[in-house]
Structure 1
């Protein structure tokens, strides 16, 4: 095979005859490929930390976090992006999705739009990406025309940019402000980058968005204190969070959540002794950081209630 073939497209000799192997042996090989992909994320931790700082800074200043991708990486980015508002309470209009083919890819995934660089430039302009925003572009090969052109257009518009790709020297990595290399190596099924490369992308995006949530002050002691509790399971979780952080019984946690309209951070402060007005003031002073707000509450004379 040509030495210029990307690692994500290489076919390894050890998988020759794979289609004749027993089912269990094939599955074991696939699992081994997934494990190798996971290992590649560890080397990318410094770059992911830098990417999360960029994204958190933009969101904290009132900007947006945009995800851009084509094909399978677009679907992986879609899943991560959709969960951020519920998990960390980030307003939905602050999370932007720029996907080759748009929402139609959730019904019929084709590769047609992946090669359309002009479409990517149009989509970035349509999303009004600019200096206030951070754009994260994901591509297994790192050379997908739509993804490279989209990131390049976003950077030209002044946005902070993060490129995530599986091949060193990929155009996407060269074009990005922060380059995240996920060197998962060849796939068990050559070129099937929804497998190992896809697993590495999912883990990397999960880590990146979670660190963003932490740095925005939406995590306290490993608890989601800015969760959007819009169903019974999450309302129960919110109650347990208030109970644990404030050290109160369930009835007091329920009462505090009622006074805060279900918002966990003010409910914790209310359960700890603040009035609803005081809780709002404390969180305003600390830019929503619950730990800092609790520290301030501890230096004041809290209301009883």
Structure 2
């Protein structure tokens, strides 16, 4: 345990924030102001890594366009951040749940409570990657604020051995995780407001960056049109209302036309939009989208040239 204690002690994420030596002595207003000030440092730190994030988005999108998946793997808070981002892709972009996957040390039980020793299990990391039957078209992003979590490093090593593209996302520089991966994404944020509580700035950083990676990869895959979500399927009252409003805004049609088009398209906004714009029946619009890889502008151009 001595070497682990020394290793942890050297990490910026584990160091004390000297600006706030006694939190209990601060007023609530001071505490809230201080936490907000610390959180404001996160976007600035991310901005310095935009070139790296850009390269990651392009590589992930390229592999997904060839049939690959985006897989997040982490322990504790980082694992939960990956699961959160993955779970939001199907309702936002109409993707199959198998396309973006969140894997957490200790399995699903670890989402709600800590699973003892799971993050230290190199065997667990390798086994969880083996279960996914990775290919060279997959991308695996390992998340660990410390950058030293054995489970995550083992998972990245296993993914890399299968030819998957790997990213080591840490909140400490020169991390073992970054060194293990094809691409190191290291965003150092300074000490946490509450010493060692990496669910704070580190967790916020992970959430913001994963938002970028998944959202922008989906943009590159044609899952959006202009700046609108069009690959979602209206499955509840809120989504149905949003979908109708989207169709009315993008095509200048009336509510009755939007409602009818959505019904004919089984609630799929992109198909309904193409049908309205081109005058094609929903079935033909769906087929035209498939012929054009799901890219709506290309489908519209193909229809106009037919």
Matched position secondary structure for 1:162: strand
Q: Does 1:7 align with 2:8?
A: no
Distance (whole Å) between structure 1 residues aligned to residue 22 and residue 284 of structure 2: 69
Q: Which moved more, 1:4-13 or 1:157-166?
A: 4-13
Unaligned 5+ runs, structure 2: 1-5
Provide Cα deviations, 1:127-159, integer angstroms capped at 9, x if missing partner: 212223111111101111111111111011111
Match of 2:205 among 200, 215, 218: 200
CA root-mean-square deviation? 1.8
Contact 2:68 2:135 (C-alpha < 8 Å) held by counterparts: no
Aligned residue in 2 for 1:163: 168
Residue 136 (str. 1) matches residue 122 (str. 2): no
- In structure 2, C-alpha distance between the alignment counterparts of 1:108 and 1:288, rounded to whole Å: 39
Matched, 1:121 2:120: no
| 1:86-112 deviation digits (Å, cap 9, x = unpaired) | 101111122222210110012312452
Matched, 1:237 2:238: no
Question: CA 1:2/1:69 → structure 2, altered by over 3 Å: closer, same or farther?
Answer: closer
The answer to whether the 8 A contact 1:86-1:229 is kept is no
Specify the alignment match of 2:59 in structure 1.
54
Q: Deviations over 1:179-229 (max 9, x none)?
A: 212221111111111001110110000111110110110111110010132
2:27 to 22, 25, 32: 22
Of 270, 277, 282 in structure 1, the residue corresponding to residue 288 of structure 2 is 282
Query: 2:235–2:267: 8 Å Cα contact kept in structure 1?
Result: no
Distance, in Å, in 1 between the alignment partners of 2:270 and 2:92 is 14
Matches within 5 A, 1:201-240: 201-240=206-245
TM-score (norm 1): 0.93
Worse overlay, 66-75 or 92-101: 92-101
Mark the CA change 1:3 to 1:144 in structure 2 (over 3 Å): closer, same or farther.
closer
Instruction: Give matches, 1:34-183, under 5 Å.
Output: 34-183=39-188
1:293 to 292, 299, 303: 299
Q: Secondary structure at the match of 1:14?
A: coil
Aligned pairs, number: 300
2:104–2:111: 8 Å Cα contact kept in structure 1? no
CA distance in 2, matches of 1:52, 1:155: 18
List gaps (5 residues or longer) in structure 1: 301-305
Counterparts of 2:104 and 2:20 in 1: how far apart (Å)? 33
- Conserved 8 A contact 2:153-2:180: yes
Q: Find the aligned partners of 1:118 and 1:159 in 2 and give their Cα distance.
A: 19
2:109–2:115 contact (8 Å) kept in structure 1 = no
- Secondary structure at the counterpart of residue 19 of structure 2: helix
TM-score (norm 2): 0.93
Greater CA drift, 157-166 or 193-202: 157-166
Distance in 1 separating the partners of 2:299 and 2:143: 37
